[in-house]
């Protein structure tokens, strides 16, 4: 299991992204930390789902540039 500290090292924990910039966020609750599976945006002082526009109902502790995972094998 990945620790909180290990997850945080890959994210920005201070400040916020530019308004309307889609980012990947790290959320935290009583169970632990997790990455939300959809892009989020920081707008008007709150986090929003970048796809639906709904307010995110989670405690966001960090963010990073949104990454799309590729299913193609890496070439050497």
Q: Are the C-beta atoms of 31 and 1 separated by less than 8 Å?
A: no
In a domain, 70, yes or no: no
The verdict on residue 25 lying in a domain is yes
Instruction: State the residue range of the domain holding 40.
Output: 4-65
For residue 3, the model assigns a pLDDT of 79
Give domain status of residue 13, yes or no: yes
Q: What is the pLDDT along the chain (76 residues), one digit of tens a residue?
A: 677 888 889 999 999 998 889 999 999 998 889 999 999 999 999 999 999 999 999 999 999 987 666 555 655 5
Helix, strand, coil share (%) of the chain residues, nearest 5: 5, 35, 60
Per-residue pLDDT, 69: 61
61, burial (CB in 10 Å: exposed 0-12, middle 13-18, buried 19+): middle
pLDDT for 4:
82
Count of the separate structural domains present in the chain? 1
Does any domain span residue 50?
yes
Domain assignment present for 75: no
C-alpha 40/C-alpha 46 separation (Å) is 10
pLDDT at 5: 85
């Amino acid at each position: 299991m990945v620790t909180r500290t290990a997850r945080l090292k890959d994210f920005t924990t201070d400040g916020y992204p530019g308004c309307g910039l889609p980012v990947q966020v790290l959320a935290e609750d009583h169970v632990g930390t997790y990455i939300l599976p959809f892009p989020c945006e920081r707008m008007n002082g709150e986090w929003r789902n970048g796809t639906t526009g709904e307010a995110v109902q989670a405690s966001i502790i960090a963010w990073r540039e949104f990454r799309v995972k590729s299913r193609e094998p890496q070439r050497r």
